[in-house]
């Protein structure tokens, strides 16, 4: 709502700046004025009672203005181009890959040479795993940042990053990096000052003189890394205080009840925006607000902070979309897109962690009932936002969907999860999967799963045992898992190495900075001699790479795959087969996946339940035509195969 004092004050501030408010900077001015009320309301929701609320709000306004001023003309043009396209990120033409620069090709300079590799595959969007300074040996894969603005020497320089961004942008590629919002490394400047007794910076963290509040907090807070980092607080001898460390003991949680922390971190966000980042991955947003007697996850204020960030970004650097990495319960994930008046005004992207885990569920059981039981929740995603879909990423697989989803499918939740964990960690002899349990909580027996896509699909074991038939099945599983996540309505994110079937890499066990964390088994060091084999027909590498390439090219040519909230799940005629329909007017794409180790039969009636029945289907995957049969006849699907049928 219009507020004379507020609007007049910001208006005057902007008039005083050197911006050309009626000319080239008019769009910025319009955006600022349009968003100001919402921005102010969100800010005051968090900080109304803070003694420095007004002073920090003025600083916030200045931070936004400076960010816009510092944005290059090229990026401002890119912002405008993206805005003209509408929701540019809903497109079916974007396919991503997530990778560790050092493990992929050494450093940022080498990345430029590798752009042709991505082009060949069809990938035009890169997520560079954290490259900013982070102490080796206690870096959590780069998620313990000691300097948000300095590229760690082992990756190169800021100049290298800028040069890579320019080259990518010229080639029509998009770039994503992380802002690790929840915590800093214990070696970050703010943490060092706090440790030395500086009260101003102690207020940047949750620091306590004794265990009384930490004990109270811990009563309700689940442990994230119970094996390697139990508890949520760490004693700091130098200042004789306890600091909150929800993740590892070297990752200090930032205190967002202090508006200075918000403004400083917003400034870091703009620093990334002005490097030309297209999508900013907000790491662990579920944790950014803490409150006694709660789990300190998914609190309403965490959403307020994200909405506030969105408003600020929309004003100064509107071409940068936000991805909230909330790997939480299905209905909590939805909230990161915004709720109520803020619907579709929070994160533009979230990870479809529920779907990812459900695919692993279906692969282990051969039964797709739980996946179907969960869809009604997943489908609530608002128009104008989208998913990152994936089968594997650098993290573990958490079976975080709700018990009632498992129960609605007719299973006992505890036994069902136990089976999945045993299946993937290799304790069921007949299971072809080779993974490991991650972060087993001895108190709750809760655990997640580590392992690469290929190893969890059985390739490692099949190769060890020289089993041709099992190798064939593993390859089919890999491709079916990828295909299901590619066409579901999202931006697919391939994890590097999976495009050619890398199995687990156990070299992490020799590195004391990594050996305590088995997620490193699925973060391979790329061997470019092996990668050359993508050219050799008949090799596994060639088969998986060219099939992945084919999947991406199909996605790119089918506009119906763009995320217009145009997905309908097919009725479950066969529990082994999942199917969804992507449609737009007359255009229909039926995507079907057989999760069974045996042939599965699907009545042709399945194709007749959604508008006029097609008579013919063209399978983009196999390049074959199929004639739709009578209702009592069946489409026969071979084990672990899929179809991408366009209705004719
Ligand atoms: C995110 C990252 C994970 C990291 C954690 C703490 O969940 O994906 O790798 O350990 O945040 O920063």
Rounded distance between C-alpha atoms, residue 135 and residue 148, angstroms: 12
CA 180 to centroid of ligand 1, rounded, Å: 8
Q: Which has the higher per-residue pLDDT, 422 or 445?
A: 422
Query: Would you state the pLDDT for residue 253?
Result: 98
CA 223 to centroid of ligand 1, rounded, Å: 14
Percent of the chain with pLDDT over 90: 98
Atom of ligand 1 nearest to the CA of 393: 8
Q: Does the pLDDT value for residue 227 go beyond 90?
A: no
Q: Which domains does the chain have, with CATH numbers?
A: 567-647 (2.60.40.1180)
pLDDT, tens only, 394-408: 999 999 999 999 999
Q: What is the mean pLDDT of residues 384-399?
A: 98
Q: How confident is the model at residue 554 (pLDDT cuts 50, 70, 90)?
A: very high
Nearest CA to ligand 1 atom 3: 395
Rounded distance between C-alpha atoms, residue 119 and residue 549, angstroms: 10
| Catalytic, out of 79, 133, 325, 541 | 325
Q: Are 191 and 255 in contact (CB under 8 A)?
A: no
CA 94 to centroid of ligand 1, rounded, Å: 24
Query: Would you state the pLDDT for residue 637?
Result: 98
* Beta-carbon count within 10 A of 627 CB: 11
Compute the residue count for the chain: 648
CA 284 to centroid of ligand 1, rounded, Å: 6
Q: What is the mean pLDDT of the chain?
A: 97
Atom of ligand 1 nearest to the CA of 144: 12
Q: Does the pLDDT value for residue 444 go beyond 90?
A: no
Ligand 1 contacts CB of residue 283 (under 6 A): yes
Query: Would you state the pLDDT for residue 443?
Result: 81
Alpha helices by DSSP H, listed for 182-299, are 189-195, 199-202, 212-220, 259-273
Q: What is the mean pLDDT of residues 321-330?
A: 97
Query: Would you state the pLDDT for residue 359?
Result: 98
Structure tokens at 267: 């400034």
Q: What is the CA radius of gyration of the chain?
A: 25
pLDDT, tens only, 588-637: 999 999 999 999 999 999 999 999 999 999 999 999 999 999 999 999 99
pLDDT, tens only, 196-205: 999 999 999 9
Ligand 1 contacts CB of residue 396 (under 6 A): no
pLDDT, tens only, 446-496: 899 999 999 999 999 999 999 999 999 999 999 999 999 999 999 999 999
Query: Would you state the pLDDT for residue 1?
Result: 87
Q: How confident is the model at residue 420 (pLDDT cuts 50, 70, 90)?
A: very high
Nearest CA to ligand 1 atom 12: 143
Residues contacting residue 220 through CB under 8 Å, at least 6 positions apart: 292, 293, 294, 295, 296
Residues contacting residue 366 through CB under 8 Å, at least 6 positions apart: 576, 595, 596, 597
Q: Does the pLDDT value for residue 228 go beyond 90?
A: no
Nearest CA to ligand 1 atom 8: 395
Ligand 1 contacts CB of residue 247 (under 6 A): yes
Q: Does the pLDDT value for residue 182 go beyond 90?
A: yes
| Catalytic, out of 283, 346, 499, 517 | 283
pLDDT, tens only, 516-536: 999 999 999 999 999 999 999
- Strand boundaries in 120-265, DSSP class E: 125-128, 132-133, 147-151, 174-179, 183-185, 207-208, 233-236, 241-244, 251-253
Q: What does pTM read for this prediction?
A: 0.97
Q: How confident is the model at residue 193 (pLDDT cuts 50, 70, 90)?
A: very high
| From 283, 398, 439, mutation site for ligand 1 pocket: most ligand atoms within 8 A of C-beta | 283
Classify 182 as helix, strand or coil: coil
Rounded distance between C-alpha atoms, residue 244 and residue 208, angstroms: 9
Ligand 1 contacts CB of residue 607 (under 6 A): no
Q: What is the mean pLDDT of residues 637-643?
A: 98
Nearest CA to ligand 1 atom 4: 143
Q: What is the mean pLDDT of residues 167-192?
A: 98
Structure tokens at 106: 């050494």
Nearest CA to ligand 1 atom 2: 283
CA 498 to centroid of ligand 1, rounded, Å: 20
Q: How confident is the model at residue 365 (pLDDT cuts 50, 70, 90)?
A: very high
Query: Would you state the pLDDT for residue 491?
Result: 98
Q: Does the pLDDT value for residue 442 go beyond 90?
A: no
For helices 300-316 and 26-47, the axis angle rounded to 10 degrees is 160
Query: Would you state the pLDDT for residue 445?
Result: 83
Query: Would you state the pLDDT for residue 460?
Result: 98
Ligand 1 contacts CB of residue 253 (under 6 A): no
Ligand 1 contacts CB of residue 118 (under 6 A): no
CA 140 to centroid of ligand 1, rounded, Å: 7
Query: Would you state the pLDDT for residue 596?
Result: 98
Nearest CA to ligand 1 atom 10: 140
Nearest CA to ligand 1 atom 11: 284
Q: Does the pLDDT value for residue 441 go beyond 90?
A: no
Ligand 1 contacts CB of residue 141 (under 6 A): yes
- 3-state SS, 272-302, equals HHCCCCCEEEECCHHHCCCCCCCCCCCCHHH
325 is catalytic: yes
Query: Would you state the pLDDT for residue 174?
Result: 98
* Beta-carbon count within 10 A of 156 CB: 21
| From 139, 247, 288, 521, mutation site for ligand 1 pocket: most ligand atoms within 8 A of C-beta | 247
């Amino acid at each position: 709502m219009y507020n004379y004092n507020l609007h007049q004050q910001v208006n005057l501030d902007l008039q005083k700046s050197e911006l050309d408010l009626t000319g080239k900077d008019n769009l910025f001015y319009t955006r600022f004025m349009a968003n100001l009320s919402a921005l102010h309301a969100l800010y005051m929701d968090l900080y109304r009672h803070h003694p420095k609320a007004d002073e920090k709000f003025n600083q916030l306004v200045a931070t936004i203005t400076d960010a816009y001023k510092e944005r290059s003309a090229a990026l401002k043009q890119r912002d405008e181009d993206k805005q003209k396209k509408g929701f540019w990120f809903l497109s079916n033409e974007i396919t991503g890959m997530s990778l560790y620069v050092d493990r992929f090709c050494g450093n940022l300079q080498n990345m430029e040479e590798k752009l042709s590799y991505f082009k060949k595959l069809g990938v035009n969007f890169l997520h560079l795993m954290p490259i900013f300074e982070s102490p080796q040996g206690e870096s959590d894969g780069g998620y313990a940042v000691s300097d948000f603005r300095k590229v760690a020497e082992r990756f190169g320089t800021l100049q290298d990053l800028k040069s890579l961004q320019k080259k990518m942008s010229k080639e029509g590629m998009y770039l994503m990096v992380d802002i690790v919002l929840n915590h800093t490394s214990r070696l970050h400047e703010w943490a060092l000052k706090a440790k030395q007794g500086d009260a101003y910076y102690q207020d940047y963290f949750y620091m306590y003189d004794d265990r009384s509040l930490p004990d109270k907090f811990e009563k309700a807070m689940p442990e994230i890394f119970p094996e390697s980092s139990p508890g949520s607080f760490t004693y700091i001898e130098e200042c004789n205080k306890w600091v909150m460390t929800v993740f590892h003991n070297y990752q200090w949680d930032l205190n967002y009840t202090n508006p200075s922390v918000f403004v400083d971190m917003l400034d870091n966000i703009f620093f990334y925006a002005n490097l030309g980042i297209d999508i900013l991955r907000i790491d662990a947003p579920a944790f950014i607000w803490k409150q006694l007697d709660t789990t300190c996850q998914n609190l309403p204020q965490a959403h307020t902070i994200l909405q506030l960030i969105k408003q600020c970004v929309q004003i100064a650097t509107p071409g940068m979309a936000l991805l909230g990495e909330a790997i939480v319960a299905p209905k909590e994930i939805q909230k990161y897109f915004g709720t109520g008046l803020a619907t579709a005004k929070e994160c533009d992207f979230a990870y479809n962690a529920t779907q990812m885990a459900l695919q692993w569920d279906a692969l282990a059981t051969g039964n797709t009932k739980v996946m179907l039981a969960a869809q009604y929740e997943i489908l609530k995603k608002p128009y104008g936002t989208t998913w990152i879909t994936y089968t594997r990423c650098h993290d573990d697989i958490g079976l975080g969907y709700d018990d009632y989803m498992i129960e609605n499918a007719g299973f006992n939740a505890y036994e069902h999860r136990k089976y999945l964990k045993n299946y993937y960690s290799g304790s069921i002899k007949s299971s072809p999967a080779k993974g490991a349990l991650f972060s087993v909580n001895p108190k709750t027996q809760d655990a997640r799963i580590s392992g690469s896509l290929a190893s969890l699909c059985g390739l490692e074991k099949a190769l060890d045992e020289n089993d041709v038939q099992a190798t064939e099945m593993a390859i089919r599983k890999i491709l079916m898992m990828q295909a299901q996540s590619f066409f579901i309505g999202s931006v697919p994110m391939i994890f590097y190495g999976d495009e050619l079937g890398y199995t687990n890499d156990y070299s992490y066990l020799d590195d004391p900075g990594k050996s305590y964390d088995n997620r490193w088994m699925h973060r391979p060091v790329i061997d470019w001699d092996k990668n050359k084999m993508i050219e050799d027909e008949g090799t596994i590498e060639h088969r998986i790479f060219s099939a992945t390439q084919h999947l991406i090219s199909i996605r790119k040519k089918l506009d119906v795959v763009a995320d217009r909230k145009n997905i309908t799940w097919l009725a479950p005629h066969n529990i082994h087969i999942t199917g969804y329909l992507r449609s737009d007017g007359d255009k229909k794409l039926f995507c079907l996946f057989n999760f069974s180790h045996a042939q599965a039969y699907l009545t042709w009636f399945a194709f007749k339940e959604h508008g006029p029945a097609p008579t013919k289907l063209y399978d983009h995957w196999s390049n074959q035509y199929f004639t739709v049969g009578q209702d009592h006849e069946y489409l026969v699907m071979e084990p672990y195969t899929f179809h991408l049928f366009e209705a004719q």
